[in-house]
Amino acid sequence: MNISVIGTGYVGLGTAAVFSELGNNVIGADIDETKIKNLNKGIMPIFEPGLKELIERNLKEKRLRFTHDNKEAIMHGDIIFICVGTPPKENWETEMKHVEAVAKEIAENMDSYKVIAHKSTVPVETGEKVKDIIKSNLKNDVEFDVVSNPEFLREGTAISDTLNPDRIVIGIESERAAEMMKKLYNPIKAPIIMTDIKSAELIKHASNAFLATKISFINAISQICEKTGADVEKVAEGMGYDQRIGRRFLNAGIGYGGFCFPKDVQAFIKIAEKYGYDFQLLKATNNINENQKKYFVETIKNRLRDLKNKNIGILGLAFKPDTDDMRLAPSIYIIDELQKEGAKIKAYDPEAMEKAKSILNGVEFCNNPYDAAKDADALLILTEWNEFREMDLAKIKSLMKKPLIFDGRNIYNPESMKKEGFNYISIGRKDVA
Ligand code: UDX
């Protein structure tokens, strides 16, 4: 099938790579000319495990190419995926201008029947809006169908998530579009949920909101654990064996970050408001998440008392492991707050330092965890990269001014840290010294 993907961010690139790998003839389009030139040479704009190899292979096999000419992509695709950004506005409503502009461009350039599928996370009723825009801007008398096909991939596991999804959600209005979408997804073994467009749009928002709420729930429990001397890891384990609950997304920490959960939760609150529903549960999810970062900073301040000229080493900057994405990463807030108190920050992240350099000021970036630990009054773990689980802790201890670790991701066992001679403070577990 001929497939076009407009927008080459995380979702667009993953979609283009996977559909070409499945044997389709794919064009990826983006208005950023430099990005397109690089992509055609196999240079990736993001770090995503497996993406480069997949794109290189399909470029070579000529099943995939990239263009900065949206018109070319619109003419090419039997199915056109809209994967452009839906960033938050100042008031957290979803900025729809990129989706709307692409819809208009599609209408102006479409010369045969097309299925136009939106993959980006968008407010319910976007399908209607896209349909209206296309209808009122059509240049040629051709038919089209709008489809909602939300994407559930996670950064860091984008390729495997797309190739092996838990489910495929397709919101459709016509049999013709349904058949084409089914044919496209035929090689992927996953349950397909065929529904109306609005339900598909809501499935995406509801899923992200539910997962974010699950994280905030365990973070709330972690606070009670700290106050009572219980262990949040054990509580999560005990809860997780209940199949109705499940252990995944019950990891307490410094709160969720990234470009999906924080903005989607806020956007969903706004969407509900628009339809006259006060989504108090989701407001609490958001508040707990914000407080979790603040509470972590307060814990550090209480321990170190005066932060002025204290050396603080940071391990991990990205919002989660296996990505270089710094968007809405808790590290940004935490570092900023510590700097305001006069702390000197040294930081290391295996992948995110290039991106972090353009966001964080006054931070000394290090080549490895040991340099970040050198002369540190405290070491903070902010992202659970596997590299940090395998560090030489004796070496870390010998390099630090004081053996004090604040672990925002609970990657170590407190008792082992005690044996190693650390004063170890983690989330929802007893401090050890
Ligand atoms: C998320 C959704 O999982 C995905 O389905 C959707 O398409 C986009 O948003 P992503 O943002 O890539 O994906 O990352 P995810 O792995 O879900 O983690 C999001 C945030 O939650 C990270 O900051 C992570 O550290 C945090 N998190 C996750 C926790 O704090 N605890 C957990 O148990 C799980």
- DSSP letter string, 121-175: ---TTHHHHHHHHHHHH-SS---EEEEE----PPTTSHHHHHHS-S-EEEE-S-H
pLDDT at 121: 87
In this structure, is the dihedral angle defined by the CA atoms of residues 129, 212, 255 and 372, taken in order, positive or negative? Answer: negative
Please say whether the beta carbons of 157 and 49 come within 8 A.
Answer: yes
b/e sequence 278-290, b meaning 16+ C-beta within 10 Å = ebeebeebbebbe
Q: What is the pLDDT of residues 117-151, one digit of tens each?
A: 999 889 999 999 999 999 999 999 999 999 999 99
Share of the chain above pLDDT 90, in %: 98
Region class of 110: left (phi > 0), else alpha (psi between -120 and 50), else beta: beta
Q: Verify whether ligand 1 is closer than 6 Å to residue 258 (CB atom).
A: yes
What is the DSSP secondary structure assignment for residue 432, as one 8-state letter? Answer: B
- CA 255 to centroid of ligand 1, rounded, Å: 10
State how far the Cα of 119 lies from the Cα of 139, in Å rounded to an integer.
Answer: 24
Arithmetic mean of pLDDT over the chain: 97
Rg (CA), the chain: 23
pTM: 0.95
Q: For tokens 């549960």, name the residue.
A: 281
Instruction: Record the tokens describing residue 205, joined without a space.
Output: 């928002």
Q: Verify whether ligand 1 is closer than 6 Å to residue 214 (CB atom).
A: no
Q: 405: pLDDT confidence band, cut at 50, 70 and 90? A: very high
pLDDT at 120: 85
Q: Assess whether pLDDT exceeds 90 at residue 365.
A: yes
Q: 336: pLDDT confidence band, cut at 50, 70 and 90? A: very high
Q: 371: pLDDT confidence band, cut at 50, 70 and 90? A: very high
State how far the Cα of 393 lies from the Cα of 415, in Å rounded to an integer.
Answer: 14
Q: What is the pLDDT of residues 235-262, one digit of tens each?
A: 999 999 999 999 999 999 999 999 899 9
Q: 153: pLDDT confidence band, cut at 50, 70 and 90? A: very high
Closest-CA residue to 264 (of 203, 185, 353)? 203
Q: Verify whether ligand 1 is closer than 6 Å to residue 260 (CB atom).
A: yes
Q: Assess whether pLDDT exceeds 90 at residue 425.
A: yes
- CA 155 to centroid of ligand 1, rounded, Å: 8
- CA 169 to centroid of ligand 1, rounded, Å: 19
Please say whether the beta carbons of 48 and 159 come within 8 A.
Answer: yes
Q: 359: pLDDT confidence band, cut at 50, 70 and 90? A: very high
Give the residue whose CA is nearest to atom 19 of ligand 1.
256
Q: Which of 44-53, 71-80, 277-286 has the lowest mean pLDDT?
A: 44-53
Query: For 387-414, what is the mean pLDDT?
Result: 97
pLDDT at 199: 97
225 is a catalytic site residue: no
pLDDT at 234: 98
- CA 292 to centroid of ligand 1, rounded, Å: 16
Share of the chain above pLDDT 70, in %: 100
Q: Which domains, ranges and CATH numbers included, belong to the chain?
A: 2-195 (3.40.50.720), 211-425 (3.40.50.720)
Q: Assess whether pLDDT exceeds 90 at residue 112.
A: yes
Q: Verify whether ligand 1 is closer than 6 Å to residue 9 (CB atom).
A: no
Query: For 260-283, what is the mean pLDDT?
Result: 96
Please say whether the beta carbons of 144 and 109 come within 8 A.
Answer: no
